[in-house]
Amino acid sequence: MRQILLDTETTGLNARSGDRIIEIGCVELLNRRLTGNNLHFYLNPERDSEEGALAVHGLTTEFLSDKPKFATIATELLDYVSGAEIIIHNAPFDLAFLNAELKRLDLQSFDAYVEKITDTLVQAKELHPGKRNSLDSLCDRYGISNGHRTLHGALLDAELLAEVYLAMTRGQKSFTIDLATPEQQPADGIVAELPPLADIICVCASADELAEHDAVLAGLNKQTKGDCVWIGEAAA
C-alpha cells in the first residue's frame, strides 16, 4: 500500500483569481512506514505573494525567482504520485491549486493520476467533532512535536501530517485481546513461538500514591454503599 502525504504553499488563498503554487512537499508511506523517498519543490509562481500569505510561509519573490516553474516539474510530480493514495489536510484547497496548474498545461485533473484522495481534515472532524482540527491542533492532541514549525513549509507540514495520520489511523478501538477459538487452533496442535518480549520496565507506586489510591477507593465504596468492585478485587 503506497500512500503520499502532500502539502502545498501558495501565493494566496484563491486559485481562481490567479494565485499560484510556490512549494510542494510529498512524504511517502509504504505499508504505513516512512520510506524517506520524499519529493520537494520550490517553484517560481511568476507573481508576488500576497502579504498575508508571505507572513505565513516566508518565501519571498526574490528567493523563488530562480526556481523552476510548475510546467518544468509537472511530469516528475505526476510520475511520483501515480497510482498512490494521496493524503491531504483540507484537500479541496490544495487540489484547487494543483488542478489550476494542470489546466494551464492542458493536462487532466490531479485525481485522474492517483488511486484515491483522502482528506485528513474530514477524518479528524469525524473523530473529534466540535474540536479544533487544524494540523497544529492535531499535533497537540496526539503529542507530536511541532515546536520547530515557526513558518509553514510544504515538506515540513507533510512530514507532520504523516505522523498525525499514522496516529489517527492506528485502528485500536478496544483494549481487549481476542483469543483464538478451538476452531482457529492449528490442526497439528503446534503453535509458533513468539519472539521474546523486550525487558519491561515496571515503575511501582510510592507509599503516598498507594495511600491516595486507597482513599479514592474508600470514597467510592462509601458512595456505592459498600459495592465498590475495586475494593473486592484489591482484597482478592
- Nearest residue to 84 via CA among 29, 35, 40, 124: 29
pLDDT at 151: 65
pLDDT digit string, tens, across residues 125-140: 999 999 999 999 999 9
Q: Which amino acid is at 29?
A: L
Residues classed as catalytic: 152
Q: State the pLDDT confidence band at 143, using cuts at 50, 70 and 90.
A: very high
pTM for the model: 0.71
Quote the cell numbers at residue 138: 492535531
Question: 149 CB contacts (<8 Å, ≥6 apart)?
Answer: 136, 156, 157, 160
Q: State the pLDDT confidence band at 83, using cuts at 50, 70 and 90.
A: very high
Please provide the DSSP assignment of 48-69 as one string.
PPPHHHHHHH---HHHHTTSPP
- Nearest residue to 68 via CA among 45, 44, 47: 44
pLDDT at 152: 75
| Pick from 50-64, 69-83, 92-106: least confident | 50-64
Mean pLDDT for the stretch of residues 142-162: 84
pLDDT at 232: 58
Residue 78 has pLDDT above 70, yes or no: yes
Could you tell me if 2 and 83 are in contact, meaning their C-beta atoms sit under 8 angstroms apart? yes
**How much of the chain exceeds pLDDT 70, in percent?**
78
The values of phi and psi at residue 7, to 5°, are: -145, 155
- Give the whole-angstrom CA distance, residue 148 versus residue 164: 16
- Give the whole-angstrom CA distance, residue 225 versus residue 221: 6
Mean pLDDT for the stretch of residues 55-75: 96
**Plot region of 130 (φ>0 → left; ψ -120 to 50 → alpha; else → beta):** left
pLDDT digit string, tens, across residues 172-209: 444 444 444 444 445 444 444 544 545 556 677 888 78
- Give the whole-angstrom CA distance, residue 152 versus residue 44: 17
Residue 86 has pLDDT above 70, yes or no: yes
